[in-house]
């Protein structure tokens, strides 16, 4: 059994920031991650991180944009924290070495992003995530935090409403080990790969969310799934919103700048949900190009600007689509991008399970509500990562190490669980996974309605049944990828089920959740958060109020 005061599961931006803060506050802290931290999905973020550091900007204007963008579902007390702490977070990262892009006079440069009333997004070219994550990792190394690389956590251990640690699989040799801690922080990122088209890394399966769900923790607002309007046709690699921020135009096959039909004021810079639906409508109504895409054109921006601020995007287009955006428009289509929902947690990352914190994309601290604004999620990971790390470090000073019993028990259960999956025959994980991803894409996508959601739900339930019968044929010990995949597919099914049921029940359109059979937002009935608990193998839905402080809900127009 391995022991630390605090163990952070996940080495992305949120997990590393939590670990760093806990260490700075004197705790014995370790990070465990299925890939080395710098391979985490955070590395892929392109566009930037929001902070109201401009001379005419203010935290409350940032908060207003965030709440409006969220379609009033965000909790305004946590949004206030996010926006107030943003400038300090950006300056801190800068001071640690992040290579932000600069203005002529050497200050941190900012670019406009959708849904923001001000150019508020600080960026490092179009490699903001790469620069932030490497900087953060460097500082974690400097602080001497212990890191367990290439370990996959498979089950949380609990003892009378307290999280006592977890069981993890060492990918190097397929051995299971138990880890005991006074506090655990989950920072495992999003679940993009349950959709067929997703901008996310292949490792983003949402398994961390299902770990908490299976340990009895509620997961919140899962029906709110963000689709990014512009992903590269084919591979769905992200084409950052920064491209539109720099002045890119969207055209349909008749070379119309169709956004003037949908958001005449803000055009290409309307929030993501609106632009994604506009593109999808164009495609569905036959105005897209054959194969299902529209064009994002930046040829008018000129070679120099493209090479300076969008060089990563240019390279992506050349490598993955054979298109050079200096000369030709980029083919784009909407794809899954971000999870607004996640493990229910509060302003310090605390979940309803004692000793368990959740932060970053796997969590729902509810700063993004029904729709996240670009540049707010990198901010979310660092702001709340820092808070959770500090809170946990203070808390462990007065908590005793839990007893070993629950961990020994969990280890035994997990051994027999894995043993029962080994063998020939049965279902293959790849078939179940592929069908799940198609189902979610087809029936629980940008546009939703009762009929589709019911079909989607029936499919997911059928796949759950088949999921019970998946076997691992490969017997190798070192890097048994088939075993990892089988474990993760089961978590993907949990999440798909909750998203679909939540979406079916929520009879309104709000933010990214758009019902063609209930076109309006319905504050009377639905200005509330969804909580899903796992009860006897099924999600049980409950609801809770949204915290409203300074901004009263009003109609959202752009």
Ligand X SMILES: Cc1cc2nc3c(=O)[nH]c(=O)nc-3n(C[C@H](O)[C@H](O)[C@H](O)COP(=O)(O)OP(=O)(O)OC[C@H]3O[C@@H](n4cnc5c(N)ncnc54)[C@H](O)[C@@H]3O)c2cc1C
Report the C-alpha gap between 368 and 365 in whole angstroms.
8
The span of 10-18, 62-70, 391-399, 456-464 binding ligand X (CB under 6 A) equals 10-18
Whole-number Cα distances in Å, 339 to 125, 209, 269: 24, 11, 21
* Residue whose CB is less far from other proteins, 95 or 161: 95
**What token pair was written down for 326?**
């200096």
* Residue selected from 23, 41, 130, 387 as contacting ligand X according to rule CB under 6 A: 41
* Residue whose CB is less far from other proteins, 97 or 302: 97
Instruction: Kindly state whether residue 303 participates in binding other proteins, applying the rule CB under 8 A.
Output: no
Instruction: Kindly state whether residue 325 participates in binding other proteins, applying the rule CB under 8 A.
Output: no
Strand partners, 544: 529
The span of 64-72, 215-223, 332-340, 426-434 binding other proteins (CB under 8 A) equals 426-434
Q: List CB contacts of 353: < 8 A, sequence separation 6 or more.
A: 158, 161, 162, 163, 212, 215, 216, 217
> At what angle are helices 376-396 and 76-95 packed, to 10 degrees?
90
Minimum distance from CB of 104 to other proteins (Å)? 7
Report the C-alpha gap between 341 and 480 in whole angstroms.
31
239-298: contacts with other proteins (CB under 8 A):
none
* Residue whose CB is less far from ligand X, 365 or 378: 378
CB atoms within 10 A of CB 456: 25
The span of 58-66, 296-304, 373-381, 536-544 binding ligand X (CB under 6 A) equals 373-381
280 binds, among ligand X, other proteins, none (CB under 5 to 8 A by kind): none
Instruction: Kindly state whether residue 13 participates in binding ligand X, applying the rule CB under 6 A.
Output: yes
Report the C-alpha gap between 335 and 357 in whole angstroms.
29
465 binds, among other proteins, ligand X, none (CB under 5 to 8 A by kind): none
Q: List CB contacts of 419: < 8 A, sequence separation 6 or more.
A: none
User: According to the 3-state scheme, what is the secondary structure of 361-388?
Assistant: HHEECCCCCCCCCCCHHHHHHHHHHHHH
* Residue whose CB is less far from ligand X, 9 or 184: 9
Instruction: Kindly state whether residue 12 participates in binding ligand X, applying the rule CB under 6 A.
Output: yes
* Contact call for residues 34 and 150 (beta carbons, < 8 A): yes
* Contact call for residues 216 and 156 (beta carbons, < 8 A): no
Instruction: Kindly state whether residue 481 participates in binding other proteins, applying the rule CB under 8 A.
Output: yes
* Residue whose CB is less far from other proteins, 90 or 263: 90
* Residue whose CB is less far from other proteins, 1 or 172: 172
Minimum distance from CB of 76 to ligand X (Å)? 20
Report the C-alpha gap between 225 and 221 in whole angstroms.
9
515 is catalytic: no
**Sheet with 49-50: strands ordered across:** 49-50, 121-122, 110-111
Q: Which of 180, 272, 448, 521 is catalytic?
A: 272
Instruction: Kindly state whether residue 91 participates in binding other proteins, applying the rule CB under 8 A.
Output: yes
Buried b / exposed e along 191-217 (16+ C-beta atoms within 10 A): bbbbbbbbbbbebbbbbbbbbbbebeb
Report the C-alpha gap between 441 and 336 in whole angstroms.
9
Strand 151-158 relative to strand 356-358: parallel, antiparallel, unpaired? unpaired
Instruction: Kindly state whether residue 437 participates in binding other proteins, applying the rule CB under 8 A.
Output: no
90 binds, among other proteins, ligand X, none (CB under 5 to 8 A by kind): other proteins
133-172: contacts with other proteins (CB under 8 A):
134-135, 138-139, 141-142, 149, 172
Whole-number Cα distances in Å, 388 to 14, 17, 19, 341: 9, 9, 9, 18
List of residues contacting ligand X (CB under 6 A): 9-15, 32-35, 37, 40-42, 44-49, 128-129, 152-153, 187-189, 199-200, 204, 207-208, 238, 337-338, 360-362, 374-378, 381
- Active-site residue numbers? 272
List of residues contacting other proteins (CB under 8 A): 35-36, 38-41, 43-44, 53, 90-92, 94-97, 99-108, 125, 127, 130-131, 134-135, 138-139, 141-142, 149, 172, 201-203, 234-235, 237-238, 312, 315-316, 319-321, 428-430, 472-476, 478-482
């Amino acid at each position: 059994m391995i022991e630390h005061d605090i163990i952070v599961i996940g080495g992305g931006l949120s997990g590393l920031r939590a670990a760093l803060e806990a260490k700075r506050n004197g705790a014995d802290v370790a990070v465990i991650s299925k890939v080395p931290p710098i391979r985490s999905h955070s590395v892929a973020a392109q566009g930037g991180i929001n902070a109201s550091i401009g001379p005419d900007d203010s935290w409350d204007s940032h908060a207003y944009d965030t709440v409006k963008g969220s379609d009033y579902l965000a909790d305004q007390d946590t949004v206030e924290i996010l926006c107030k702490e943003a400038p300090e977070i950006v300056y801190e990262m800068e001071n640690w070495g992040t290579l932000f892009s600069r203005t002529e006079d050497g200050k941190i440069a900012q670019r406009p992003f959708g849904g923001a009333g001000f150019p508020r997004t600080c960026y490092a070219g179009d490699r903001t995530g790469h620069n932030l994550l490497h900087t953060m990792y460097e500082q974690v190394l400097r602080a001497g935090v212990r890191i367990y690389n290439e370990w996959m956590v498979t089950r949380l251990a609990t003892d009378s409403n307290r999280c006592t640690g977890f069981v993890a699989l060492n990918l190097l040799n397929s051995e299971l080990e138990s880890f005991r801690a006074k506090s655990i922080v989950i920072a495992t990122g999003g679940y993009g790969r349950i959709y067929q088209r997703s901008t996310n890394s292949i490792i983003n399966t949402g398994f961390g969310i299902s770990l908490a769900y299976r340990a009895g923790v509620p997961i919140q607002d899962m029906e709110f799934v963000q689709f990014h309007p512009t992903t590269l046709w084919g591979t769905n690699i992200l084409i950052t919103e920064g491209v539109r921020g720099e002045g890119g135009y969207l055209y349909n096959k008749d070379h119309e700048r169709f956004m003037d039909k949908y958001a005449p004021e803000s055009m290409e810079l309307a929030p993501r949900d609106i632009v994604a639906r506009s593109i999808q409508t164009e495609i569905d109504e036959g105005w897209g190009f054959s194969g299902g895409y529209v064009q994002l054109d930046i040829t008018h921006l000129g070679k120099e600007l493209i090479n300076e601020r969008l060089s990563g995007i240019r390279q992506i287009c050349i490598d993955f689509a054979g298109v050079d955006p200096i000369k030709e428009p980029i083919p784009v289509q909407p794809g899954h991008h971000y999870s607004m929902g996640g493990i229910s947690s509060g302003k310090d990352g605390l979940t309803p399970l004692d000793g368990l914190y959740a932060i970053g994309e796997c969590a729902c601290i509810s700063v993004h509500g029904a729709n996240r604004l670009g540049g707010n999620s990198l901010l979310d990971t660092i702001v709340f990562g820092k808070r959770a790390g500090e809170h946990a470090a203070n808390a462990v000073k007065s908590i005793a190490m839990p007893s070993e019993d629950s961990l020994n028990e969990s280890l035994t259960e997990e051994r027999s669980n894995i043993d029962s999956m080994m063998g020939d025959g049965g279902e293959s994980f790849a078939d179940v996974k592929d069908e799940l991803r198609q189902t979610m894409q087809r029936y629980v996508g940008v546009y939703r309605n009762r009929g589709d959601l019911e079909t989607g739900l029936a499919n997911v339930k059928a796949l759950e049944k088949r999921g019970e019968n998946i076997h691992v044929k490969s017997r190798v010990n070192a890097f048994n990828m088939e075993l990892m995949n089988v474990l993760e597919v089961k978590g993907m099914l949990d999440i798909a089920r909750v998203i679909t049921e939540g979406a079916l029940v929520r009879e309104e359109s709000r933010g990214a959740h758009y019902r063609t059979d209930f076109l309006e937002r319905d504050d009377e009935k639905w200005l509330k958060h969804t909580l899903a608990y796992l009860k006897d193998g099924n999600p049980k839905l409950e609801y809770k109020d949204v915290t409203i402080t300074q901004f009263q809900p009003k109609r959202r127009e752009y």
